[in-house]
Amino acid sequence: TSTNGIKTSKYNPFTFLPLNLFEQFQRIANAYFLFLLVLQVIPQISSLSWFTTVVPLVLVLTVTAAKDATDDLVSKPVPPLQTFNLNNLFPVLRLRSEKWMDVQVGDIIKLENNQFVTADLLLLSSSEPLNLVYIETAELDGETNLKVRQALTVTGDLGEDVEKLADFNGERFRMEEDVTHFLFLFFGFAGPETKLMQNCGKSTFKRTSIDRLMNVLVLCIFGFLAFMCVILAIGNCLWELKAGSQFTVFLPRQDGNSAGFSAFLTFWSYVIILNTVVPISLYVSVEIIRLGNSFYIDWDRKMYHPRNDTPAEARTTTLNEELGQIKYVFSDKTGTLTQNIMTFNKCSINGKSYGDVFDYAGQRLDITEHTDPVDFSFNPLADPRFVFHDHALVEAVKLENPEVHAFFRLLALCHTVMAEEKKEGELSYQAQSPDEGALVTAARNFGFVFRSRTPDSVSIVEMGEQRRYELLAILDFNNVRKRMSVIVRSPEGKLRLYCKGADTIVYERLHQSCGKLMDVTTEHMNEFAGEGLRTLALAYRDLDQEYFSQWKQRHHEVSTSLDDRDGRLDELYEEIETDLQLLGATAIEDKLQDGVPQTIEQLAKADIKVWVLTGDKQETAENIGYSCNLLREEMNEVFVLSGNSPEDVRRELRSEHVGTEQEGCGRPSSPPGKRGKVLPDEAVNGEYGLVVNGHSLGYPLERSMELDFLRTACMCKAVICCRVTPLQKAQVVELVEEYKQAVTLAIGDGANDVSMIKAAHIGVGISGQEGMQAVLSSDYSFAQFRFLQRLLLVHGRWSYLRMCKFLRYFFYKNFTFTFVHFWYAFFCGFSAQTVYDEWFITLYNLVYTALPVLGMSLFDQDVNDKWSFQHPELYLPGQLNLYFSKKAFFKCALHSCYSSLVLFFIPYAAMHDTVRADGKDVADYQSFALLTQTCLLFTVTIQLGLEMSYWTAVNTLFVVGSLVMYFAVTFTMYSNGMFLALPSAFPFVGTARNSLNQPNIWLTILLTSILCVLPVVTCRFLFIQLCPTINDKVRQAKTKDPPLPRRARIRRTSSRRSGYAFSHAQGYGDLVTSGRFLRRPAPSRSSGLAHAGRSTTSFSPMGRSAGYSPTGRPQNAKVQDVEVTSLQMYRSVRDPAL
Amino acid sequence: MAKQAPDFANRPDNTAFTQQRLPAWQPMLSAGIVIPGFVLIGLAFIGIGVALLVTSQSIQVFEMDYTGVGNNHPCFHCSDPKPKPCVCKLNFTIDFFLKGPVFFYYGLSNYFQNYRKYSVSKDDDQLSGNLKNFESPSDTCSPYQRDNNKPIVPCGSIANSMFNDTFKLYQNVNATMKPVNFDGKGIAWWTDYNIKYRNPDTTPLRNAFNNTVKPIFWPVPAYELDPKDPANNGFINQNFLVWMRTAALPDFRKLYARINDPPYAEGLPAGSYMLEIQYNYPVLAFGGTKKVVFSNVSWMGGKNDFLGIAYLVIGTLCVLMSIVMLIVYAKFKFPEED
């Protein structure tokens, strides 16, 4: 029988060794060393002892295996499955407690309040009215708000009747945690088939561009190795023909070996000797460095968010240096740029603006944490989290200013919020959108407390006095109307219509008498909008009973009619919402996360392009674009792409091209679809922004137009795509990846960002909230968007720098090491004689040079973090791949070539025919080997010192320690004791003592090392003087402390008028007023489950200022990106195809 | 303003290491360091170079080729490998006082002691006196491992190809040949004849060589290499040790003897000499040459002008470069403030 257990680990203790070894040997480098090992055991070929390969290979395999094992142990924290008990209702009509892992598909389950759910379920019935359940899907998609799910009438009516439920034969549905008392569920998918597992299924293995480059380089190196070996083999052949054949007297030669055969053997012998050009320890070292740099990210206090105790986390340890090369950042909006907290900040009531704080001189003060908040203690029902600073408004309320009272009464009545009062006086609201919640909470604090509602009444506490308003009609919000109204009868019997909506819409419907008030209010609203606040205009109208009864009658007729009901309803609403009296306006702040504008400014300075991809409306998105500094007033133009057909979009794209005054702006004549084509960056005069609408975005993402689109988009400083689906998010990212040879980063917090996070080279998840989905599929996670600048500008830059320095130096030291063999070949009859002692060859990479270079790659920083922030331009070299490229690699090789020539020929010439000071031999092979290897080690160490720009004590310890280690190991291996123990393993006995006490040996070492380094110093110095890079300049300047960054508050003087505060879907007016289910046709959405990755929110809790989430988690809740209500969504799920 | 801090369980440690704030020295290639550095290095190198060159110039070397190429060369008759043994006498005149102690070297050229298969063709265990390896020499010695199924001791190419010319030097004093004593000891490394090469403990030494054969090219077995001094036989014969310390490069010289017996310990006076060579070792076959060298030494070893010249050249270049840098620095002075 199949089990529901989900398995995410790769190994078990028994399979680990074979599986891991198998995997490791699939790596080309490891396989190559295995091959070398085979070569080395062939006596005719073996030019080195077996241990020279075995020791490094074993070490590398061990380190990698250890890392793999730990990775496997800690990988993928999937929600635990086995630990929860639940009541499992079997078709045999018994309720039984089961573990989740034992539940089978087809079981019917009874869940109780606050139980976890780990499978896809279909809701059958619930204890709540209307068979509603509230579920939280945080574990699935990161959204903390409660979502409404409703059972079908058919099943809902079955209630708790177990027998009937057992007869049920239906479809499936996905459920999560509920706050309902109990519910019955039908068990749909289990185990690996759950949506969760299907969704997080295949994450592609990400590689960095350096990785890819390294693979190419390693192939090149293989080619080069073969080339060198061929040359040496040819040399051997010639030598054999010319000299060797005569030298046979003294050489141990078997008969019948032709020169050709000898050359063949020599080729393989040299493959063994020169193998160090393909450094086996490279990969391991790279992994260690990345791991180290990942730890720095985990450890960084400046990326730790104390409010929810969340440190940054590098979830992938293989992508670090790519963080230093980001060119495009794709960001989600809600929860990433914004906190999804709406705060009631300001308002304008009857021509008077409230919300600003003035000092005695009448100067406007900035509101800081120290500004005195308004004391709401007069109101026992006030929400303590609500903060307001303008005392004038409270005074006005207390003075019973009628307009102010009407204003707040409207806010308390005109909404679709649900109130829950678990204990007396402890209210919590469930609002459909955070804006609405903010308004109702504001009214609550100012003494107009929305207490409860029934389908036909609303109870509020007005200045301590309980009043019940009869709710006669809700004229609900929708996207066309952009307003909502309620018609209520006050306890006194007065009929009144309250309306709130977008200013333009409301203004059209005002009574002429409001003209003057309109002007003042408009001015205020402009002011609010300039500060990036969202505004709503509020108005009311007194109705007379007769007119209303008549209207109500018609309303009833229309509601029950069958054809074009919605259209006719709208007309009817239109009719009654006229001659309104303006009350004022509210201003709600869609709170940005801390430091977002500054971060975006910094990223822009670092030439990182930020694209915002959001599910929000164009207007909202644009607004946020302005308020977070992405779009700016001073931009030459902000294009809007909102065509509804391919032709429109194409025309819009074309016209924008003209707008950018591209000279010779040739059409992309090359047929698009040519894969691998790279679109070059184009020079643009002026700054442009681009706003793309979701339905238009579909067209440019098609093959025929994507180049046009990309060209336009990339010429713009900022791009905002609104109303995009998760799939489109990923498509946009892929489009940029495909045509721009640029590194992309996607940052988001919700399940709708997962596709984008997976598609981008680097995915970043905003963590610290309940949601795990984005974080689970991300490579890095942290709590705040502003940490992105530290991740990129500091950690990324350092990682890139360190990795590049490491690679350059590593190749340098290995090439230098190896090339000396090549030169020596010309003096030893191409006989594959090594220049160095075999032990030195074994230990060179592992012991003598490993730690210094690791130290450099773990500690180096050209400039510290403060300077990195001060000069975001420092980030540019990474984007341009300047520090490690094919060119840089080639330079390394040339440098090595020079060094190796010096390293061979200086000792050669210095030792030629010379003797010790006592006349004895010092030009023998062993002394020469010792001399050359010592020269080499000094040279590469000094070179390392030149590379290192940040000498910590650890670095000094490593460098000096390695040199000391070299001499210690050398003297030990060349000691009498070692030789006596194993004569054939340590034949170099005495060499160190006999040659290193000679002054001319040391003079040779000095000469060689200095000669290797001098040209480098000269070149660098001259380059710094003649064409200094930005790094040189900053390094030069950094001897002083960086000037403190100005933390000037960004004041926008915007003339833009923001949109209305509703950003949400069709309202819940119907649900509120109806006692029965909705009977609206389901919208033609393809499939509910297919969209389930997107949020389908209904009631979302609000933020801190008005936080009343039933789960007590007020922050960063998520607004819905999609306009399908959960009820509609639910209907669409009933697609029988499922 | 913060609410009651929850507990910061996950807060990273605030250490200089985790926050990457380790104190560090951050050197830069600034003009203030580089230019004076170059001048200093340059001057130091010029000083060292002068000292080395002067020392090297003071070393006296006298060398003669005796390969025997050319009809009129006294060793010509010996260059044909057939008649053996062959003795040739080389008369020469030293027209300066060759200050002692004088070292006598033989030199070979185009001789690839560093050829890999040659240089590994020995058995270190056998040479350190391990009797087990007398019976069965290591495979590395192949093809000089066994001769007629008997183990060769010492086995291998290096030993087999041991240089076996012998030299005797006479000073021609008033037409009488006055022998100049060669001291064939103290020419090998102390570690070689005390640690690395040891005879088996067997006494007499020859017993250890029972059931073994001498290397094919050798006229005498190892235990009879020095008939005069029984202690200089077997694997610790110093000429053998010198030969076994294979040369790094194809042209090499090896110490044959020291001249440290009075009256020549002070040096070889100017005058005419005669070198009697027992010419055994064939080199013409592979285009090699043989030579003998009389030389004295200094603190820096044998004569080698290269090191001194290299130091001088590089020192000069350093000074020149520092001037160039100074000019560049003065002209294109990199703006200190941005």
Nearest of A1083, A1122, A1124, A1114 to residue A431 by alpha carbon: A1114
Across B85-233, the runs of DSSP E, i.e. the strands, are: 86-94, 98-99, 102-109, 146-147, 150-151, 166-173, 176-180
pLDDT score at A659: 47
Cis peptide before B204 (omega within 30 of 0): yes
pLDDT score at A945: 93
Nearest of A817, A620, A34, A763 to residue A330 by alpha carbon: A763
Please tell me what DSSP assigns to residue A751: G
Lowest mean pLDDT among A199-208, A516-525, A973-982, B102-111: A199-208
- pLDDT tens, position by position, A257-273: 677 888 888 899 999 99
Copy the structure tokens of residue A815: 């090439």
Euclidean distance between CA atoms A718 and A709, whole angstroms: 14
Contact: B301, A247; criterion CB under 8 Å: no
Pairing of strands A718-722, A688-693: parallel
- Which of B9, B23, B192 faces A952 most closely, judged by CB atoms? B23
SS3 readout for A775-836? HHCCCEEECCCCHHHHHHHHHHHHHHHHHHHHHHHHHHHHHHHHHHHHHHHCCCCCCCCCCC
* CA dihedral angle for residue A665, residue A667, residue A668, residue A670, rounded to 10 degrees: -120
Report chain A residues whose CB lies below 8 A from the CB of B286: 243, 246-250
Copy the structure tokens of residue B298: 């200094």
Q: Chain B, 96-135: which have a CB under 8 Å from a chain A CB?
A: 101, 103, 105, 107, 110-119, 121, 123-125, 127-128, 130
Contact: B22, A911; criterion CB under 8 Å: no
- Is B16 within the bounds of a domain? no
Report chain A residues whose CB lies below 8 A from the CB of B146: none
Are the CB atoms for A218 and A28 separated by under 8 Å?
yes
- pLDDT tens, position by position, A232-242: 999 998 888 88
Q: Are residues B148 and B214 in the same domain?
A: yes
Contact: B304, A980; criterion CB under 8 Å: no
Return the H-helix or E-strand segment holding A469.
Answer: strand A465-475
Q: Is A41 exposed, middle or buried (0-12, 13-18, 19+ CB in 10 A)?
A: exposed
Q: How confident is the model at residue A1112 (pLDDT cuts 50, 70, 90)?
A: very low
Are the CB atoms for A795 and A861 separated by under 8 Å?
no
Three-point CA angle A925, A931, A934, nearest 5°: 140
B337 pLDDT higher than 60: no
Contact: A924, B245; criterion CB under 8 Å: yes
Mutation target among A795, A831, A913 for the B interface, most CBs of B within 10 A: A913
Contact: A994, B18; criterion CB under 8 Å: no
- Which of A251, A311, A1003 faces B118 most closely, judged by CB atoms? A251
Copy the structure tokens of residue A210: 């350096």
A142 pLDDT higher than 70: no
Å from A332 to nearest chain B CA?
Answer: 26
**How would you list the strands of the sheet with A718-722, edge to edge?**
A313-314, A780-782, A762-766, A743-748, A326-331, A609-613, A718-722, A688-693, A637-641
pLDDT score at A171: 38
- Is B241 within the bounds of a domain? yes
CB atoms inside a 10 Å sphere around CB B329: 20
Q: How confident is the model at residue A104 (pLDDT cuts 50, 70, 90)?
A: low
Collapsing DSSP states into helix, strand and coil, what is residue A1038? coil
Report chain B residues whose CB lies below 8 A from the CB of A295: 18
Q: Are residues B135 and B255 in the same domain?
A: yes
Whether B334 has its CB under 8 Å from any CB of chain A: the answer is yes
pLDDT score at B292: 93
- Helix boundaries (H) for chain B: 31-58, 76-79, 116-119, 124-127, 132-135, 157-160, 190-191, 205-208, 238-244, 305-331
- Is B23 within the bounds of a domain? no
Contact: B311, A1025; criterion CB under 8 Å: no
Return the H-helix or E-strand segment holding A230.
Answer: helix A209-239
Q: Are residues B268 and B138 in the same domain?
A: yes
Mutation target among B238, B245, B297 for the A interface, most CBs of A within 10 A: B245
- pLDDT tens, position by position, A302-350: 999 888 888 898 888 888 889 999 999 999 887 788 877 788 888 999 8
Q: Which residue has the higher pLDDT, A1073 or A808?
A: A808
Report chain A residues whose CB lies below 8 A from the CB of B253: 913, 915, 923
Question: How many residues appear in chain A?
Answer: 1138
CB atoms inside a 10 Å sphere around CB B175: 6
Contact: B10, A989; criterion CB under 8 Å: no
Euclidean distance between CA atoms A586 and A525, whole angstroms: 8
Contact: A910, B31; criterion CB under 8 Å: no
Report chain B residues whose CB lies below 8 A from the CB of A828: 112, 114-116, 250
Could you tell me which residues of A are annotated as the binding site?
A: 332-334, 436, 477, 500, 534, 614-616, 723, 729, 749, 752-753
Report chain A residues whose CB lies below 8 A from the CB of B13: 299
Copy the structure tokens of residue A297: 């990210």
How many domains are there within chain B?
2
Its domain, for residue B36, covers 32-59+301-313
Are the CB atoms for B296 and A916 separated by under 8 Å?
no
pLDDT score at A255: 55
Contact: B112, A829; criterion CB under 8 Å: yes
Euclidean distance between CA atoms A348 and A996, whole angstroms: 90
Mutation target among A955, A979, A984 for the B interface, most CBs of B within 10 A: A984
Whether B319 has its CB under 8 Å from any CB of chain A: the answer is no
Whether A952 has its CB under 8 Å from any CB of chain B: the answer is yes
Q: Are residues B217 and B281 in the same domain?
A: yes
Q: Are residues B269 and B305 in the same domain?
A: no
Q: What is the mean pLDDT of chain A?
A: 77
Pairing of strands A326-331, A448-454: unpaired
A332 is catalytic: yes
Could you tell me which residues of A are annotated as the binding site for Mg(2+)?
A: 332, 334, 749, 753
Contact: B31, A1025; criterion CB under 8 Å: yes
- Is B74 within the bounds of a domain? yes
Copy the structure tokens of residue B229: 């001094």
Q: Which residue has the tokens 């010092």?
A: A922
Give the chain A residue whose CA is nearest to the CA of B130. A983
- pLDDT tens, position by position, A727-754: 888 888 888 888 888 899 999 887 778 8
Residues with Cβ within 8 Å of A17's Cβ and at least 6 positions away in sequence, in order, are A65
Q: Which residue has the higher pLDDT, A376 or B257?
A: B257
- Which of B143, B189, B250 faces A254 most closely, judged by CB atoms? B143
Contact: B18, A923; criterion CB under 8 Å: no
Q: Maximum Cα–Cα distance for chain A, whole Å?
A: 130
Return the H-helix or E-strand segment holding A178.
Answer: strand A177-178
Q: What is the pTM of this model?
A: 0.82
Å from A252 to nearest chain B CA?
Answer: 6
- Which of A252, A921, A925 faces B114 most closely, judged by CB atoms? A925
- Is B334 within the bounds of a domain? no
Q: Are residues B305 and B242 in the same domain?
A: no
* CA dihedral angle for residue A795, residue A798, residue A801, residue A803, rounded to 10 degrees: -70
A202 pLDDT higher than 50: no
Euclidean distance between CA atoms B100 and B108, whole angstroms: 24
Collapsing DSSP states into helix, strand and coil, what is residue A1119? coil
Contact: A921, B245; criterion CB under 8 Å: yes
The amino acid at A1061: A
Q: Which of A332, A708, A862, A1121 is catalytic?
A: A332
| β-strand partners of A915 | A921
Are the CB atoms for A867 and A950 separated by under 8 Å?
no
Q: Are residues B53 and B127 in the same domain?
A: no
Q: Are residues B169 and B222 in the same domain?
A: yes
pLDDT score at A1073: 58
Q: Are residues B88 and B151 in the same domain?
A: yes
| β-strand partners of A781 | A313, A765
Q: Are residues B217 and B305 in the same domain?
A: no
Query: ipTM of this predicted complex?
Result: 0.95
- Is B48 within the bounds of a domain? yes
Euclidean distance between CA atoms A583 and A506, whole angstroms: 11
CB atoms inside a 10 Å sphere around CB A647: 10
Mutation target among A387, A921, A979 for the B interface, most CBs of B within 10 A: A921
Whether A861 has its CB under 8 Å from any CB of chain B: the answer is yes
Euclidean distance between CA atoms B184 and B178, whole angstroms: 18
Contact: B249, A1026; criterion CB under 8 Å: no
Whether B301 has its CB under 8 Å from any CB of chain A: the answer is yes
Q: Over pLDDT 70: what percentage of chain A? A: 75
Give the chain B residue whose CA is nearest to the CA of A825. B115
Across B54-99, the runs of DSSP E, i.e. the strands, are: 61-65, 86-94, 98-99
Contact: B286, A925; criterion CB under 8 Å: no
CA distances from A252 to A455, A1061, B121 (A): 107, 94, 8
The amino acid at A1029: T
Across A350-417, the runs of DSSP E, i.e. the strands, are: 352-354, 357-358, 364-365
Euclidean distance between CA atoms A487 and A469, whole angstroms: 10
Å from B228 to nearest chain A CA?
Answer: 22
Are the CB atoms for A849 and A284 separated by under 8 Å?
no
Radius of gyration of chain A (CA): 37
- Is B159 within the bounds of a domain? yes
pLDDT score at B338: 42
Q: Maximum Cα–Cα distance for chain B, whole Å?
A: 114
Residues with Cβ within 8 Å of A600's Cβ and at least 6 positions away in sequence, in order, are A610, A628, A629, A630
Whether A923 has its CB under 8 Å from any CB of chain B: the answer is yes
- pLDDT tens, position by position, A800-821: 999 999 999 999 999 999 999 9
Whether B309 has its CB under 8 Å from any CB of chain A: the answer is no
- Helix boundaries (H) for A880-998: 886-911, 925-947, 953-973, 976-981, 991-995
Report chain B residues whose CB lies below 8 A from the CB of A1024: 29, 334
Q: Are residues B168 and B309 in the same domain?
A: no
Residues with Cβ within 8 Å of A194's Cβ and at least 6 positions away in sequence, in order, are A6, A118, A119, A120, A174
Contact: A990, B48; criterion CB under 8 Å: no
Lowest mean pLDDT among A166-170, A504-508, A700-704, A1020-1024: A166-170
Q: Are residues B230 and B273 in the same domain?
A: yes
Q: How far apart are the first and last CA of chain B?
A: 40
- Is B318 within the bounds of a domain? no
Q: Which residue has the higher pLDDT, B215 or A619?
A: B215
Euclidean distance between CA atoms A605 and A1058, whole angstroms: 27
Whether A368 has its CB under 8 Å from any CB of chain B: the answer is no
Euclidean distance between CA atoms B273 and B279, whole angstroms: 18
Report chain B residues whose CB lies below 8 A from the CB of A984: 123-125, 138
